[in-house]
Amino acid sequence: MQKILRNNLICERFANTLLLWKFHSRIVRRRWVMSAHKYELMFIADPELDERGLKKLTEQYLELVTKEGGSVDGTDYWGRRKLAYEIDGKTEGNYVVVNYTAEPALSDELDRVLNLNESVVRTKILRKDAK
C-alpha cells in the first residue's frame, strides 16, 4: 500500500478502497471463469411445426448459446410424441434435447427466451454435473 501512496500521491483512504476493488475484481474474474457447467435442455415444440421449422427453431436457440460464450455438446431430435397430459389443448409435441456447457446466467436467459416463444409448449433445463 505504501508503494501505491508513493507512486500515485493519493490519500490513504482512497488507496484502501482501490486495493479492495482490485482484490474483489480478481475474485469475480476467477469465479466467472470457473462457473461454466454442463446442462441438458429439453423442450417440447408445437406439433404443427414441420421438421424444417423445428430445426430452424432449435438453431435459433443454439446460436444464442454460442453467441454468449457457451458451447453446444450435442442435439437430439426425438420427434413427435404423445404428451402425458394435455397442454394448451395439445396432445402431441416435438421433443428436442440439447446438451450444452455455459454460465448459469446464460441458462436463465435461455429459459426466459424459450418461455416467451409461443411455438415452445414446455421447457426443462437440468444441470448435469449437480450432485
Per-residue pLDDT of the chain (131 residues; tens, 9 = 90+): 555 545 555 556 555 665 566 655 555 555 445 578 999 999 999 999 999 999 999 999 999 999 999 999 999 999 999 999 999 899 999 999 999 999 999 999 999 999 999 999 999 999 988 76
Beta carbons of 103 and 70 less than 8 angstroms apart: yes
Q: What is the distance, to the nearest Å, from the Cα of residue 18 to the centroid of all Cα atoms in its chain?
A: 33
User: How confident is the model at residue 23, as a pLDDT?
Assistant: 58
Q: Rounded to whole angstroms, how far apart are CA atoms 125 and 111? A: 7
Angle value at C-alpha 83, between 81 and 87, nearest 5 degrees: 130
Q: Rounded to whole angstroms, how far apart are CA atoms 36 and 106? A: 10
User: How confident is the model at residue 87, as a pLDDT?
Assistant: 92
User: How confident is the model at residue 32, as a pLDDT?
Assistant: 47
Q: Is the dihedral of CA 67, 60, 75, 106 positive or negative?
A: positive
User: How confident is the model at residue 131, as a pLDDT?
Assistant: 63
Backbone angles phi, psi at 10, to 5 degrees: -120, 160
User: How confident is the model at residue 129, as a pLDDT?
Assistant: 80
